[in-house]
A and B are shown apart, each in its own frame.
Chain A
């Protein structure tokens, strides 16, 4: 058999190579199965990583859906607390997009949506004091950097359209990551090599995402006291001075809300509940009359205070600031009943 028109010395014998290839596939299946099984036996589970691509896909979908979209933006607290299956059952006709970022504030996304002159969906912005009132140096870095990348990509796509098969490719990738440790990235040979070099075993990260970008937290691998202490320490960083609060945060926010709602969109400011040491710090450092009440009075958007609402504040939070996973569906159901019908 000639394998090419120009191959003078490359003739193959009439051997059924399909058998050889199928045997090769079998070898590969056994070896990949062994690799997958070994890492699962070590406690690893398949997961979706928190990548720019996934975030950009959600933001892009939310923008395209326009008035049909409900977007969620904020920090890990909203990524943990909102249960999409529950929300999807309550709002079956809406496109739901989680565009929160770990440790991020909603400011950059709100500004971006306000500047998108045709977008008129609903955005639920998490306004937890820890992320909103404390301007950490790197707090908005990811969100701002990701938004810049996203904008650059949109600009590029106006010139060179994105190949139409990319959406399917993205879904196939996600499917494999959700179901196989081998494809989730954590058992990449580089990671395995580093683990061997350092003597540290590969471990399941204590947080990961679902394809909806819902964050899953697993506290079994971390020292909870240490974790809470670090969260509390984070709250001790310098906050926006009260004198500058209105000018630096409230006034711009007011403008973005006005822009979005003037187009028929909706902005909901959601303060997620906190507990324990975090709640005490919120009250101590950010007294409601100086921060929250001003924000609510001047922003011009519907505001929901999770700490003030008995229906929302009575949920379990192991680390004092993130809802426990089992509580998220009920919390979301309660929230849906409070949200306006157009959101």
Chain B
């Protein structure tokens, strides 16, 4: 079930009520585990089996990796990698691979029409697969001891607040939290609900009400876009995807906190980033740090010279792009981010020492440049295919002749994007907690009340799913 549903509100209140009962710690963890399976089954019950398989395989592999050495140790790691990546490849990438192969075959004159298997993508598979992979790899690298309790480990894999769209949690962050009995106090529950409310507001009002209708309307007709509409639509999408995903992450962190668990941050005002290294330290932090630790560094990272570093970066970002979706448009999206990162490293190495870059106005200009490039690159993320993407990019560079009119809502969305940029720039060195601490408590309460009222009166029947659920 999605956070922006009445069903989730009921579900969460019931789980919270049961979890707060004076029961043994093990029982309360069992309640959380059952609730997590129920939460996942609410989409498609048979896929719970997949979650169980992934959990059991890595639980066994983790123990064996830890206990063995040499070839058997490597073999157990390979088993874990093959199982997790195999499941991911079958469910997420097999139609894409078959279609790509058919396209390649057609290119050399071989007609091959792959059968459409009708594979359904299990929700959240990319997230929990990366989570279980990190567990096995960390044990292999001797950075982590296996979980001592299967219950704790299963809860780490399935914990419902972050199960379907992250943040991607490391076992080293989560498992220690399962050891000591805990019950969220009034501080955690209250702040957790505040984060939940903020997240829901970002999702339902800003992403769904303000930005999505504009982006959807403009991206629906790529052949009719003009310079202005292409920019407006893409800027609206940049607002939509940020508030959609950041909203989900806030909800996840808030829901976990209500249960006394602390999750990692996933966003830190990314549209105020100065450069692309900074952007990836602020956008989907749990994924970018995962890719850094389990892909970029093993590929060589900053070692072995600039050429190898650039290659590692490119490969990491291409795979990161493919992680998002089984389509070449996502690969291009990742590849462009890789190019930006490589270009930034080259620029830093050659002219980075100049005092000019540290000037406040230059920092703002660099942040704006970063935002514009990130926004342009979103075209590949949002457009359904390369034809649409190229029409949009042509229009954004003045290649479209027609001037299609836009409604007032597009200008409201544009104003909202500008306000978001200013807000994120002001907040870039700060945090919502720091700002809230400085506010009188009654002001915070009033703001929460107003957010809830706005969500209630603008409630619409057809709710949108979270964008990242499809990954």
Contacts and interface: CB of A to CB of B under 8 A. Distances in A.
Interface in A173-224: 173, 176, 182-183, 185, 187-189
Given A3-B191, A164-B42, A165-B7, A182 B461 contact: no
Contact of B456 (A28, A30, A161): A28
A172 B446 contact: no
B445 A13 contact: no
A25 B452 contact: yes
Given A16-B190, A17-B190, A6 B257 contact: no
Given A3-B262, A17-B194, A20-B448, A10 B433 contact: yes
B426 to A, nearest CB: 15
A5 B173 contact: yes
A21 B431 contact: no
A182 B45 CA distance: 34
A185 B456 CA distance: 10
Interface string A11-44: 1111111111111111110111001000000000
Query: Which of A24, A53, A182 has the most B CB atoms < 10 Å from its CB?
Result: A24
Nearest to A160: B120
Given A172-B7, A182-B456, A20 B431 contact: no
Contacts of A187: 457
A168 interface: yes
Interface residues of A, number: 50
Contacts of B221: none
B10 interface: yes
Given A7-B433, A20-B445, A24-B447, A2 B262 contact: yes
A203 B432 CA distance: 42
B24 interface: no
Query: Which of A11, A20, A183, A188 has the most B CB atoms < 10 Å from its CB?
Result: A20
Nearest to A161: B44
Query: Which of B441, B445, B446 has the most A CB atoms < 10 Å from its CB?
Result: B445
A138 interface: no
A278 to B, nearest CB: 34
B253 A20 contact: no
Contacts of A289: none
B461 A185 contact: yes
A168 B45 CA distance: 16
B6 A172 contact: yes
A85 to B, nearest CB: 25
A236 interface: no
Nearest to B47: A161
Interface residues on B, range: 35 or more
A163 interface: yes
A12 B187 contact: yes
B120 to A, nearest CB: 5
A183 B453 CA distance: 12
Given A21-B194, A27-B445, A189 B187 contact: no
A154 to B, nearest CB: 15
A183 B6 CA distance: 12
Given A9-B434, A172-B10, A189-B457, A3 B449 contact: no
B458 interface: yes
B186 interface: yes
B194 A15 contact: no
Contact of B452 (A6, A16, A28): A28
Given A4-B262, A24-B445, A53-B461, A18 B187 contact: yes
Query: Which of A5, A164, A185 has the most B CB atoms < 10 Å from its CB?
Result: A5
B445 A169 contact: no
Contact of B450 (A5, A23, A27, A164): A27
B253 A3 contact: yes
Nearest to A17: B190
A12 B437 contact: yes
Interface in B143-186: 173, 185-186
A10 B250 CA distance: 14
A20 B456 contact: no
Contact of A32 (B6, B441, B442, B456): B456
A222 B453 CA distance: 33
Nearest 9 pairs of A and B residues by beta carbon = A17-B190, A27-B449, A24-B448, A18-B190, A28-B452, A10-B433, A10-B431, A23-B445, A18-B186
Interface of B: 1, 5-7, 10, 41-45, 118, 120, 173, 185-191, 193-195, 197, 253, 257, 262-265, 285, 430-434, 436-437, 441-442, 444-450, 452-453, 456-462
Given A20-B441, A165-B1, 17 more contacts: A1-B188, A3-B195, A3-B257, A4-B264, A5-B264, A9-B433, A10-B432, A13-B437, A17-B187, A18-B190, A21-B189, A23-B442, A27-B452, A28-B450, A28-B453, A164-B45, A176-B6
